[in-house]
Every structure is written in structure tokens, then in C-alpha cells.
Amino acid sequence: MPANIVNQVRSHYRAWDRGKGTTSERFIQMMADDGTFRSIGAGAQPMLFTRDHSTKDKVRAYFDGLARDWEMIFYNVHMFLVQGATIAVICECAWRQKHTGKVVHTPKLDIIRLKRGKIADFFEFFDNHQAYAACSPEGVCTVPQKPKPLFKSGASRTATGMTAAAKANVKALRKLYDQWDKTKGGSAEAIMEILAPNVLWGSLTEGADPVAFSRRRKSRVEVGEYFRGLEQVFRMEGYKVKEYIAGGPYILVLSDVSFTNKATGKTFHSPKADLWRFNRGKATEFYEYFDTAAVMASVA
């Protein structure tokens, strides 16, 4: 991908943060006329503006709804992962819900597909369960009014390039994910074997009740607790990988997944993104993004 396109996207995100959500027209002008804009929110009742938008002009409805209901606190980008015509933006954001005054602070992943220098498709992951709760006077939110950023503002990096090591890591992950799906979650030990002893392991639900097993882990031993908790609470129905996006030491795995809660019998379906970082053939970091509202609804 031409460096000027990546720089243009980087410039938009920098302006989006500094302007506190007032620079949406810059983003809209980057959209192709027939571009699509999609969100993990999927137009759910608390955030109707997150429904799919199918043309450049209709994308304004998303930003109009966002500006009506939410006030940005900060929007920090950690990394731009670039492969081919795709840019995955790993970031975090904090917003105050204007009608309830409640604050949301969530890791975020934006996946941008470009065609002829314009955005042809956009999809965003964020903690939609947390966001929906902030929209309701009865919703439980524990984020302080002044949340502490995870990343420094303006300190983003770019990861690009399919090295020999990256190819080997993708090959290893292909085998593991195929086995993970075929065994319906029965091959956790094979995944554990590629983890570094001090691996950092995170999840968008961050250990929230009643999925406490998803709390942040800091070692391979602790990740074993994650998999045991997952197996106790959920039964896998399917885990279909759609794409691997690699750049430098990072690999983003995009999938469609389905799990059933063993206690309630409720099944959820969700797009999912797993971000891996490797060093010398071992995974040193992992973070997973998915429909947190769907997960929480399945355990209620």
C-alpha cells in the first residue's frame, strides 16, 4: 500500500482525537461513493446509528448519531497493521454518554479496506455491552469520569511486511485454528505450546461477571485458567477463520464464531478478531475482540 495512503489515514485519526470527534467530514471524504460502514453495534436499540450504512452519503447518519449521543474524551491509536489494501487500526477510546453522563473506556479495532485510494469498507469492534449499559439510566458502568489512557496520544506505530518469520507464524496459526474448529475447542494444549512463558493475554470483556475467566493473563500458566474457564462455561459450535492479516511480528485473525452457554442453552454468533504478536516463533501477546453484548446475553 502506498505510504501516502497510510499517512492520510493516520492524519485522519490524529485529527479525530484532537478535534474530539468533530472531524467526521474528513473521514467521509475518504469513503468511496459506494463504500460500506459497519459496526459491531449492528444498529441495536441503544445505538441505532451503528446500523450498516451502504453509501458515502448515508455514512453521515452514523456520525450524526454519534455526535448527538456521545462526547469524546480521547481516541488514541496504538498501531496501524498494514497488509495489501487492508489497514487494521488498533486503538482505544473513551466517550461520555450525553444523556446519562456515564463514561465508556474500551479497546477498539477498526478494519479498513481500501480500493483506488478510497475506503471501500469499514468495520469496528468495541465493547458494545459496556456502551449499551452507558446508554441506560439503570445500566451498570464502573469507568471513572476521567479514565486513564492505555496508550500515549499520537504515539502510534506502523507494522507492515510479510517476512519469512511472519509466513511461518501464519502457517502455524492456520494449523492451530483448523484443529481448534475441528475439535470444537478441544485442542487448547496445542495452542498453549506456541505461547511464550510470560505471554500477555487479554479479552474485550476483561474478566467482567459472569465471564470472569476472560480477565487479563500474564503467563502461559494463567492462560491455562482462561481455557479451563471457557470450557466450563461455553460449548463451541463453530470457529471459521476468514482471513489472516500479517505485518511485522503481528498477525490479526478474522473469524466467525458460535458458542452455546452450557448453563442457559443460549447460543451467540459473532465476528471475532484475534491479534497475535510473535517473537522467535513464540506468541508473546494476544488480544481478542468480539460482540461482548451477545456474549453477555447468552449467560443471562
Average pLDDT over every residue of 11-36: 96
pTM of the model: 0.96
Q: Work out the pLDDT band at 3, boundaries 50, 70, 90.
A: confident
Percentage of the chain lying above the pLDDT 90 cut: 91
Q: Is the pLDDT of residue 21 over 90?
A: yes
Q: Is the pLDDT of residue 118 over 90?
A: yes
- Provide the pLDDT for residue 143: 86
Q: Identify residue 55 by its one-letter amino acid code.
A: T
Beta bridge partners of 202: 287
DSSP code, position 137: T
Q: Is the pLDDT of residue 253 over 80?
A: yes
CB contact set of 43 (below 8 Å; sequence gap of 6+) = 49, 50, 51, 52
Average pLDDT over every residue of 124-143: 94
- Provide the pLDDT for residue 252: 98
Question: CA-to-CA distance for 125 and 271, rounded, in angstroms?
Answer: 9
Query: Mean pLDDT in the chain?
Result: 96
Question: CA-to-CA distance for 265 and 173, rounded, in angstroms?
Answer: 30
Question: CA-to-CA distance for 224 and 218, rounded, in angstroms?
Answer: 11
- Provide the pLDDT for residue 182: 98
Q: How many CB atoms lie within 10 A of CB 144?
A: 10
**Three-class secondary structure of residue 20 per DSSP:** coil
Question: CA-to-CA distance for 188 and 2, rounded, in angstroms?
Answer: 39
- Provide the pLDDT for residue 134: 97
Percentage of the chain lying above the pLDDT 70 cut: 100
Looking at the domain covering 161-299, what would its CATH class be? alpha beta
Looking at the domain covering 3-159, what would its CATH class be? alpha beta
CB contact set of 39 (below 8 Å; sequence gap of 6+) = 50, 51, 52, 62, 123, 124
> Which residue spans of the chain are classified as CATH 3.10.450.50?
3-159, 161-299
